[in-house]
Amino acid sequence: MSHNYVVPLETYWNPTRQDNFTTAHPQGKKDALAAGYARIRQDGNIFSAQVPGTVPLNTYWHAQRQDNFTTANPQGQKDAVASGYALIRTEGYVFDKQQPGTVALKSYWNATRKDNFTCAHEQGQKDAVNAGYAHVRDDCYILPADHNSYVVPLNTYWNATRNDNFTCAHPSSQKSATDAGYALVRQDGWIFQQQVYGSVPVNTYWHGTRQDNFTTANPQGQKDALASGYSFIRTEGYAYPSATQGCVALKSFWHGQRQDNFTTSHAQGAKDALAAGYQTIRDDCYVLPH
């Protein structure tokens, strides 16, 4: 599975420098290993592109202290510059406020070692305290190491008897699709399992006469569904209502003869829809790419 919208945030340790280094950037990891750092663990995951509610997670370096300092907190960044640290790079993007399902990236300081240490892993936090580090602040909030619990795959199913495309993410929806004889066509992308900053519900509606599942996050789409006699079934997850960096459009199509609504973010899905005579309705919402 590809998760190119998130990257692992990892902790490295150099016993000679007495420096903990938290990085997600490929160059940061390369530099760490070249400088004799050893990888300790993965703390979590961060976004590779900025999405609503996120801020840059920056790394600073102090040559005299031989200390890497990774922080997203405005005070942390201000303190870094005031103490003579130089900005090296942006590692990625993190939430500045806690969102459902996220974990705190905590900032620690050891005055003897002159080492700033940011970590989200419980063992890292325990090791920091045992080594005499003081907790400074909860710096920011990141996706957990197992971010499959944070996002869920958005899949497309097809039922040739009903002539119905069904795009869904909820386990109950996927079970219903399989039980009703739908076949999995492809994964379109990923949506949030819980509502995060700036996201809206992606809902599924059902029309018994048309035998049509209709998945939409767009207010007009939801209004049209109810006006046309569709019943709300469930919320599949959450997506962004407007164009968002690092995301792709979930496009809505309609086929009058088949009486089928079809939403897809996959290029092949859109191509197949047009080739089969579907009409493009709108960019319904924006999801994380597959």
Please give the chain's pLDDT, 290 residues, in tens: 345 678 999 999 999 999 999 999 999 999 999 999 999 999 999 988 888 889 999 999 999 999 999 999 999 999 999 999 999 999 999 999 999 889 999 999 999 999 999 999 999 999 999 999 999 999 999 998 876 667 889 999 999 999 999 999 999 999 999 999 999 999 999 999 989 889 999 999 999 999 999 999 999 999 999 999 999 999 999 999 999 877 899 999 999 999 999 999 999 999 999 999 999 999 999 998 88
**Which of these three, 97, 132, 147, is where a domain ends?**
147
Same domain? 101 vs 172:
no
Bridging pattern class, strands 200-207 and 248-255: unpaired
Same domain? 33 vs 92:
yes
**Which of these three, 97, 116, 147, is where a domain ends?**
147
**Which of these three, 147, 175, 208, is where a domain ends?**
147
Same domain? 130 vs 169:
no
Task: Provide the 3-class DSSP secondary structure of residue 100.
Answer: coil
Same domain? 107 vs 155:
no
Q: Does 99 reside within a domain?
A: yes
pLDDT of res. 160? 98
**Token couple for 53:** 């509610």
Question: Would you say 114 and 67 are in contact if contact means Cβ atoms under 8 Å apart?
Answer: yes
Same domain? 155 vs 260:
yes
Same domain? 13 vs 106:
yes
What sign results for the dihedral spanned by CA atoms 27, 287, 188, 98? positive
Same domain? 80 vs 186:
no
Q: Does 191 reside within a domain?
A: yes
The model's pLDDT over 169-220, given as tens digits with 9 standing for 90+, comes to 999 999 999 999 999 999 999 999 989 889 999 999 999 999 999 999 999 9
User: Can you give the C-alpha Rg of the chain in angstroms?
Assistant: 23
Distance CA 124, CA 55 (A): 23
CA atoms within 13 A on the CB side of 39: 14
Q: Does 141 reside within a domain?
A: yes
For 170-198, give the secondary structure using H, E and C.
CHHHHHHHHHCCCEEEEEEEEEECCCCCC
> What is the chain's length?
290
Q: What is the domain extent for residue 10?
A: 6-147
Q: Does 1 reside within a domain?
A: no
pLDDT of res. 3? 53
What does 110-133 look like in DSSP terms, one character per residue?
A: ETTTTEEEEE-SHHHHHHHHHTT-
Domain count of the fold of the chain: 2
Same domain? 72 vs 185:
no
Distance CA 35, CA 44 (A): 23
Same domain? 257 vs 245:
yes
Q: List phi, psi (to 5°) of 28.
A: -60, -45
Question: Would you say 169 and 233 are in contact if contact means Cβ atoms under 8 Å apart?
Answer: no
pLDDT of res. 289? 87
pLDDT of res. 222? 98
Strand (E) positions, 63-102? Answer: 67-71, 86-95
For tokens 């992308």, what's the residue? 189
Same domain? 197 vs 255:
yes
Q: Does 171 reside within a domain?
A: yes
Same domain? 122 vs 199:
no
The model's pLDDT over 234-244, given as tens digits with 9 standing for 90+, comes to 999 999 999 98
User: Beta-carbon neighbour count of residue 262 at 10 Å?
Assistant: 27
Same domain? 276 vs 156:
yes
Q: Does 195 reside within a domain?
A: yes
